[in-house]
Each structure stands twice: as structure tokens, then as C-alpha cells.
Amino acid sequence: MEWPACVDEYEKLVIRMNTPRVVIDNAVCPTATLVTVDSARRHGILLEAVQVLTDLNLSIKKAYISSDGRWFMDVFHVTDQDGNKLTDESVISFIEQSMGTIHYGRTNDYNGLTALELTGTDRVGLLSEVFAVLADLQCNVVEAKVWTHNGRIASLIYAKDCDSGCPIEDSQKIDRIEARLRNVLKGDNDIRSARTSVSMAVTHTERRLHQMMFADRDYERKPILNQGSDSTVVTVQNWAERGYSVVNVQCKDRSKLLFDIVCTLTDMEYVVFHATVNAAGDAAYLEFYIRHTDGTPISSEPERQRVIQCLKAAVERRGSQGLRLELFAADRRGLLADVTRTFRENGLNVTRAEISTQSDMALNFFYVTDAIGNTADPKLIEAVRHRIGLSNLKIKELPLLCHEKLEREEQAVGVGGAVLLSLGSLVRRNLYNLGLIRSYS
């Protein structure tokens, strides 16, 4: 490694000492690839490690996190979306390189784009109005993500000027964009809670969406629809002898679940010292031993209830409500405005969206329901597909979980559902599940 001239020998030593050590092993576990990360501990580094894996759309089926003193060890059992081990050398190499640099901090690379942040009350057709305003103001949407939860909407849109292809920097145009979008978000009765902002920020998109909804206090609002709260169970207890708060989450397994929970704990200024994650079939069980950044556990009942509310919201925000539609078409001005207007005119509500463009092609995912949140009529979906183009808009099924593989892994490593009674047993159990010792008793 070549060092910049300004880096002295002491700085080099510090960097070498704090650089994470990464080992990727396909031999230990019969059904998953093990990614082991050893690193000096600092606030947020666990989130960055999880972010590397989830940004590659990898599935984390098991994880063991242990941190004592100034060092931590993470072990992740990962597969691709089809439940297979990682065999692509380019993916393995990328994980090694990315994990090896997480101590520098990670952000999204959206150079050359302007970030638009929107929050407000969700309603049928709102997204159509947003994209119509941007099209009218000659803004080209390059990337975007939209989440809805408890009747609220948060969106992070990356755009550029249609004519110049450059970031939107003209102050008068930015003022017009903010004003018109704020009017759209206000509707008739949401003057106080509608928010818009324009920036050149490069914060990780999904982390920023969590932060936006947290700031909007979506976790306190009464659910409009059942978004999974009945199937999500969160408990928080204090372990007085060790000075930890123990958080248990039981919910339906899904992609990026661990990221969403760790992201929320991190942004709430909690540090995860130890954790276990176990996904079996379509259920996930997660246990975290946490403290505040000042080293103290949760200290009051209101704080405990707030943690429970916030973690439930973190699980539910990305919950896939409705049918998943995939739009793949040549990108053009007004495409998103036209497609979402068609949804609105046919009574479809967009509950979540992921917008991207690559090489002048638009690849967009929409999750849609009917106007009151129920499953949309198949005949209506087909009518919308005919109007947009059958070859352009397709019904996209989510990747199937390989339940048999997960069950074989469960038997191979011998993971039980018993509650760990002490920190010592937690660490021994982790080592046993990693195959590093023959017994944890």
C-alpha cells in the first residue's frame, strides 16, 4: 500500500492496527458462506459491516456478534437471494475490500446529483403528483426510494437538470422545487408536517430514510393498515449484573432485516456489544445486548417503550405491502409521471418504490395495493399492464427462501431457541455455532 506523503509513521501504525481483518470461508458451513470480521470497536462500525452485505442484496441467515473491550468480532452466515453460497470471485473480492475499509466510514456515491428529501401524509396518487411536478420543472429523476408507514411517506429522490445534465444548483429553481413539492405534500390538511429539502448530501439512502421517518415520529402514529405489527414482537429487559439491556425481536424474515434494526439502534445512540441472529424458515429471531454510548443501560420505562416502538417501526417500514411490479423500459422525460399517473387513475396506491436508471434504461419496482390497502384486483393490474405495455411492466415475484437448506443448516450447527442466561454462555454458544469448539456446555 502506498501512503500519502502527509501520513506519518504513527498514523500508519494506527491505521494498520484498526484495519478490520476479513476472512471469507465456504468450507465450514454446508449451506452458507461465513464472513468473519475482526476489528477495533467504534460506534457505527457494526452498521457499516452489515451495510456492505445488504447493499449486495445478500441474505444474512445467522450472525454472531461479540465485543469486549476495544475489539469486536462479527460472523455472518450469508447466501445469495436464491439461498446459495457465494461463488462469484468478484463478489467475494468486493466484500473483502469493502470490509477492509469500513473504519473510514461509508456513504453513497451520488456525485453530480441533487438530493430531494420529502416527508408528509401518504395518500393515493401522491407519488404521481410529485413526479409530475418534477417533470414540469425539467428535473430528471435518476434514483429514488419511497417508503410508507403508518400513513406517512418518506422519499429520497436524486435528480439532475434535464437540459444541462448537471446538478440543480440555481437557487431560484431550488426554491420553486421546494415550494411546489411542499404544496403537493400539504394536500388540504397537512400544513405542519409536510417537509421538503434540497441538498447535495451523500448519506446512505436507506439509512437516511430511517432517519427521516424517525424524525417524523412515524412510530408514534396509529397504524392506518396492518403492516405486520401483529407478527412483530419486541421485548426489552435489563440484565443488571452485567449492565446490559437485552433486546429480543421476533418477526417474519426478509431481506435487509438486520440492517434496519442495527441502523435504528445506532441512530438512537445505542451500542451493540453482543448479538445473535437466527433465521429459520420464514421466521427470524434476533437478540441484542446493548448500552447507551456512555456505557449505561436503558434507565426508564418510557425509554423502554420508545425502543420497542422504534424497532417495530424499523421492521415494518420496509415491509412489502401489495403486489410487486417491475418496470423495465427506455428512460425518457416524464416516464415516472406517466406511469404513476396510470396507477392513480386506476385506483392503485404505491406503498413502496425503488427507482433506478442504467445506461438510459429505467428499472423501477413498485409495490401497489388498491385504494384502501387491500390486494389489487388482478383484472385491474392487467388493464394497467396493457396501458403501460405488457413487455414493460411485469409482475415480479420475490426470490423464494430455501427452507430445506435453512433446516439442514439448523441441524448441522445445532442452534436452539433457548434464552442465553449469561454473557459467558453467549460467547461459548457463538464459538460452538462457528465450529470453533465441540461443546458449549
Residue ranges of domains in the chain: 9-106+228-318+403-433, 114-222+319-395
Contact between 97 and 126 (Cβ < 8 Å): no
Cell of 275: 448479538
Please name which of 88, 61, 72 lies closest in space to residue 36, comparing C-alpha atoms: 72
Backbone angles phi, psi at 397, to 5 degrees: -85, 145
The answer for residues whose C-beta is within 8 angstroms of residue 157's C-beta and 6 or more apart is: 115, 116, 118, 130, 134, 141, 143, 144, 355
- For the chain, the first-to-last Cα distance in angstroms comes to 44
Q: What percent of the chain has pLDDT over 90?
A: 64
Q: Mind listing the pLDDT tens digit for each residue in 198-220? A: 877 667 899 999 999 999 999 99
Say which residue the cell 430445506 belongs to.
404
Tell which phi-psi region holds residue 360, choosing left (phi > 0), alpha (psi between -120 and 50) or beta: left
Q: Mind listing the pLDDT tens digit for each residue in 108-152? A: 556 678 999 999 999 999 999 999 999 999 999 999 999 999 999
Contact between 268 and 279 (Cβ < 8 Å): no
- Is 60 exceeded by the pLDDT of residue 107? no
The answer for residues whose C-beta is within 8 angstroms of residue 324's C-beta and 6 or more apart is: 365, 366, 367, 395, 396, 397, 398
At residue 270, the 3 state secondary structure works out as: strand
Q: What percent of the chain has pLDDT over 70?
A: 80
Instruction: Please count the CA atoms within 13 angstroms of the CA of 52 that sit on its side-chain side.
Output: 26
What single letter denotes the amino acid at residue 102? I
Distances, alpha carbon 22 to alpha carbons 95, 210, 428, in Å: 9, 28, 21
Say which residue the cell 443448516 belongs to.
409
Please name which of 125, 262, 104, 116 lies closest in space to residue 196, comparing C-alpha atoms: 116
Q: Mind listing the pLDDT tens digit for each residue in 343-393? A: 999 999 999 999 999 888 999 999 999 998 899 999 999 999 999 999 999
Backbone angles phi, psi at 295, to 5 degrees: 95, 5
The length of the chain is: 441
pLDDT of residue 416: 36
Query: What is the average pLDDT value for the chain, to the nearest integer?
Result: 84
Cell of 384: 394497467
Say which residue the cell 469493502 belongs to.
98
- Is 60 exceeded by the pLDDT of residue 14? no
CATH code for 114-222+319-395? 3.30.70.260
Distances, alpha carbon 337 to alpha carbons 3, 16, 130, 334, in Å: 49, 50, 8, 5
pLDDT of residue 353: 96
Contact between 56 and 92 (Cβ < 8 Å): no
- Give this prediction's pTM: 0.84
What is the average pLDDT across 14-31?
80
pLDDT of residue 19: 72
Rg (CA), the chain: 23
CA distance 135 to 291: 47
Contact between 337 and 350 (Cβ < 8 Å): no
pLDDT of residue 103: 52
- Is 50 exceeded by the pLDDT of residue 82? yes
Contact between 398 and 326 (Cβ < 8 Å): no
Please name which of 137, 175, 134 lies closest in space to residue 155, comparing C-alpha atoms: 134
pLDDT of residue 437: 38
Contact between 268 and 307 (Cβ < 8 Å): yes
CA distance 229 to 316: 7
Q: Which residues are 144's β-sheet partners?
A: 157, 355
Counting other chains too, the contacts that 200-203 makes at CB distance below 8 Å and 24 or more residues apart are 200/114, 200/115, 200/167, 201/115, 202/107, 202/108, 202/109, 202/110, 202/111, 203/107, 203/108
pLDDT of residue 16: 55
